[in-house]
Amino acid sequence: MTSPPANVLHGLKMAPSPALRCCKRALNWVPVLFINLVVGWSYYAYVVELCVYTILNNAERISYLVIFHIAFAMFIWAYWKTIWSTPASPSKAFGLPRQEKELYEREERAEVQQEILKKVARSLPVYTRTAGGAIRYCNYCQVIKPDRCHHCSTCEMCVLKMDHHCPWVNNCVGFSNYKYFVLFLAYASLYCAVICATVVRYFIKFWTKQLADTHAKFHILFLFFVAALFFISIVSLLTYHLWLVGKNRTTIEAFRAPVFTNGPDKNGFSLGFGRNVAEVFGDQAKYWILPVFSSLGDGHSFVTRLVHLDHEQANSVLQQNGKSPVDGEANPCVLGNNGQHTEDDSKEKADGGQIVSVTMESEP
C-alpha cells in the first residue's frame, strides 16, 4: 500500500474532532433558522394581523391574499431548492489513474508532480490553470479540478462551477443550484415588494394614528420596516448576480480572472449575452421562471471564447481509458448544449502535445 501525500496527512492530523465538527454543522444552520423564523413571522403578520384583523373590505382582503401566496410559494420553492440541492462534484474521470496516483504520492518534487498531472490532464477537457500556470489539483479530494471548479472548505468537497458558499442557505452555490439561487433572490425581492406595496397604506394609517391602536399595529409597522430593509439588500445582490449571468462569470471569477494556457482572461467564458443567459437558465424560456433544473452542459466542461469544445466531444474525451463523466450512472444534471456557436476565425494549435481547436467568437 502507498502512503498519501504529506499535505494530505497534515490535513488529516489537523482535522477537527467529530464532536467539534457536529457542533460546527449545527451552528451552520443558525442563519437558515433565522431566515425561516423571519419568513414565518412575516406570514403570520401579513395573513392574520393585516388581512384578517385590519383589512375590512373582503375584495381587498382576498386579492391581497392571492397575490401574497403566489409570491410566497415561489419564494419558498426556490429557497428550499437552493438549500437541498446537493452540490455537483467532479466525476471519477478527473481522478488520477492508479499508476499515476502512486507515482504522484511517492514523488516529493513539485515539478515532477506537475509533469504527472500534465500527462493526465492531456486526456481531459481542462484548459484553466493556477496563477502560476500549473495544473489545478485538489489534494483533499485528489482530483484534477475541472474548469471553474473550486474546493469549498465548509462543504469539504470540490464543487463544479462554484460561485460561493452562502451561509443563508447553508450550501454551496454552484452548477447544480445557481439558477435556483438567482430565482431565490428574484422571488425574495418580489415577496418583499408585495408586502411593502400592500402594507404601506395601513402603515401610514397606524403611523398617523388614523387607526386605533390594536395588537396588529406593532406587527404591521415592523413588517413594513423589515420588508423594506430586506428588499433593498436583496435587490442589490440580485442585480449583481444578474450582471454575473450576463457576463458568464462566477463570483470567484469576478474577483480573480480565470487563467488559461495563454494567460488570465476575465471574459474567457463569455459567449455573448443571450448564450450566457441560456447557459444558466436553459434554452427554453418556459422554464426560466421555475425552480427546476434547466442549465446547459454537465458542469465539467465549458465552451469558451478561446477553446471550442462541444458537449459530445467533452464526453468522448472523458470516456477515454474506460472512464465516463458519471461512471456508467445516470446523471440528472447532464443536459446537452445544443446552442449553435458562430465561428469567426479558427486555427489549430498544439497544447502540450494535444491538438485543440481554438475558436474566436464575436459578441452578438
Sequence-separated (6 or more) residues with CB below 8 Å from residue 347: 358
Q: CA separation (Å) from 241 to 49, 161, 236, 286?
A: 35, 14, 9, 21
Judge contact between 158 and 151, C-beta under 8 A: yes
Q: Which three cell numbers stand for residue 191?
A: 415577496
CA distance 181 to 56: 37
CA distance 167 to 24: 12
Main-chain dihedrals φ then ψ at residue 350, nearest 5 degrees = -90, 135
Q: Which three cell numbers stand for residue 161?
A: 462551477
Q: Which three cell numbers stand for residue 306?
A: 478561446
Question: Which residues face 347 on adjacent strands?
Answer: 358
Sequence-separated (6 or more) residues with CB below 8 Å from residue 237: 185
In 3D space, the residue among 143, 142, 127, 133 whose CA is nearest the CA of residue 111 turns out to be 133
- Which SS3 state, helix, strand or coil, does residue 330 take? coil
Q: Which three cell numbers stand for residue 363?
A: 459578441
Judge contact between 126 and 144, C-beta under 8 A: yes
Sequence-separated (6 or more) residues with CB below 8 Å from residue 8: 139, 140, 142
Question: Which residues face 335 on adjacent strands?
Answer: 297
Residue 166 known to be catalytic: yes
CA distance 182 to 289: 10
Sequence-separated (6 or more) residues with CB below 8 Å from residue 179: 280, 281, 282, 291, 293, 294, 295
What letter would DSSP give residue 143?
A: E
- Catalytic residue of the set 166, 172, 192, 196: 166
Main-chain dihedrals φ then ψ at residue 67, nearest 5 degrees = -60, -45
Backbone angle region of 209, left / alpha / beta, with phi > 0 → left and psi within -120 to 50 → alpha? left
Active-site residues, by number, are 166
